[in-house]
Amino acid sequence: MREMAPLVLVVEDEQKIRELVRRYLERDGYAVLTTGSGAEAITMTADAQPDLVVLDLGLPDVPGEEVAREIRAIADIPIVMLTARSTEQDKIAGLELGADDYLTKPFSPRELALRVRAVLRRRGGRPADVQKSFGNGTLRIDEDRHEVSAHGQVVELTPTEWGILTSLARAPGRVYSRYELINSVRGYEFEGYERTIDSHVKNLRRKIETDPQKPTLVQTVVGVGYRLGARPDG
């Protein structure tokens, strides 16, 4: 993250909402770029390398979901999604795309600014007392480089996936409930939707497990939550 003010890209087709969000974020000390175009958002992400993207899913030119995929392909940038879709399944779908947070319209611009701050804090934060290596080197966590490798291959994690993995790694074998993980990673309960953790764990397993259907690193404890199954080395 930059030593200067963090740069936030706001992608929202409604100009009034776009400007309102920009004012609130600038008031909180962020540098802000805005656009109402999904195609332009992809270009701006590549050129400006923002620290975070606020993304409306209901864009007129390119579906927000596609924009999210393209942004993820460019860089590991946190995404806060905005949408008029309010069902639980919609939230799950957004999070499975790699979103780090999700707000439904109408929303409070002040709440959005607080969530942006929370996501950036998690991104820049460094959990203490995380073991470096697990399972005879099967899983390695390098906090200084913000890097994870599994089975000898470096994997790219979203900020939320990183938070879940390092939370579990603080106490290998300890079972964390979904509620605990939400509060550990996000800093608050995410509107009561504990299933959002399941979506992030599913994505995390795709990246670090040899067989995501038979996970050995991030294990499910039925009716309780998740634990890191690999033992710390040394």
Q: Closest Cα partner for 194 from 184, 207, 205, 209? A: 184
- Helical residues (DSSP H) of 49-87, grouped into ranges: 64-74
Q: What share of the chain is helix, strand, coil (3-state, %, to 5)?
A: 40, 20, 40
Average pLDDT of the residues in 147-176: 88
- pLDDT class for 38, splitting at 50, 70, 90? very high
Phi, psi for residue 40 in degrees, rounded to 5: -65, -35
Q: What are the structural domains of the chain?
A: 7-124 (3.40.50.2300), 133-228 (1.10.10.10)
pTM: 0.56
Judged by DSSP in three states, 51 sits in: coil
Residue 129 pLDDT: 47
Instruction: Write out pLDDT tens, residues 40-93.
Output: 999 999 988 899 999 998 899 998 889 998 998 888 889 999 887 666 666 676
Share of the chain above pLDDT 90, in %: 36
pLDDT for 195 beyond 80:
no
Instruction: Write out pLDDT tens, residues 130-142.
Output: 568 999 999 999 8
Q: Alpha-carbon distance 52 to 171, whole Å?
A: 29
Q: How far is CA 4 from CA 7, 27, 50, 51, 129, in A?
A: 9, 15, 12, 11, 28
